[in-house]
Each structure stands twice: as C-alpha cells, then as structure tokens.
C-alpha cells in the first residue's frame, strides 16, 4: 500500500444533494451504521471513499457531520454536554439520523 492509499483510507468525502463536498475522517464516518456498511462492503463507495447522500442538503449534512464528530469525541464520557439542535432542523435531523443509523 502506498502513502497515497493510506491517506485516502483515513478520510472519506460526503457529497450533499446540492453538490457540496465534505471531507471527514473515516473514524467519524464509522459512527454511522449506514456509512460504515457502505465503506466496509463491496459497494463502489468503499473503493472511491466518496459517498453521495442524495437525501441530504449541505446544511443538514454539515449538522450531521458535526454530530458524528461530537459522538466520537464524547463516546467515553458519562457527563456529555447537550448537542445543539436548531428547532427548525429537528424533524429533518431525526429523519437523517434514522437513515444514517446514528
């Protein structure tokens, strides 16, 4: 495995339905059962390290990514600070969380 292959495997790209790309760590992506499943199988996403999320716009995806890192950061803690969810996004985030299995 070359250095560039190692670098590719540490990060993945999530693409929203409005064309915005977000590069996140593979470890953060693994918080999501759906993303983990796509990356650990023979799906095209596992070889390209790019996942197109046609269900999520960029604002919603950005908040989901914020949660993935939040979850990763506090997974070993007992007293976890509250995650800020804007009221106007609550329903959409609930649907996204169900889809992404987080």
State the Cα–Cα distance between residues 24 and 71, nearest whole angstrom: 14
Give residue-wise pLDDT tens across range 52-96: 999 999 999 999 999 999 999 999 999 999 999 999 999 999 999
Domain boundaries, the chain: 3-100
Name the superfamily (CATH) of residues 3-100: Potassium Channel Kv1.1; Chain A (3.30.710.10)
pLDDT for res 10? 92
Q: Average of pLDDT values for 1-22?
A: 76
- Contact assessment for residue 34 and residue 99, using Cβ atoms and an 8 Å cutoff: yes
Tell me the pLDDT of the chain averaged across its residues. Answer: 90
Q: Say what the pTM is.
A: 0.87
Q: Which residue did the predictor score with more confidence, 7 or 79?
A: 79
pLDDT for res 42? 78
Q: Average of pLDDT values for 34-49?
A: 88
Share of the chain above pLDDT 90, in %: 81
């Amino acid at each position: 495995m070359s250095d560039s292959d190692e670098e590719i495997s540490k990060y993945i790209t999530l693409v929203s339905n409005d064309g915005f790309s977000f590069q996140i760590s593979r470890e953060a992506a693994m918080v999501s059962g759906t993303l983990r499943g796509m990356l650990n199988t023979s799906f095209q996403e596992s070889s390209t390290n790019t996942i197109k999320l046609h269900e999520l716009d960029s604002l919603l995806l950005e908040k989901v990514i914020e949660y993935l890192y939040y979850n990763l950061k506090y997974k070993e803690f007992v007293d976890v600070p509250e995650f800020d969810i804007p009221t106007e996004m609550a329903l959409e985030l609930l649907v996204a969380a169900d889809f992404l299995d987080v």
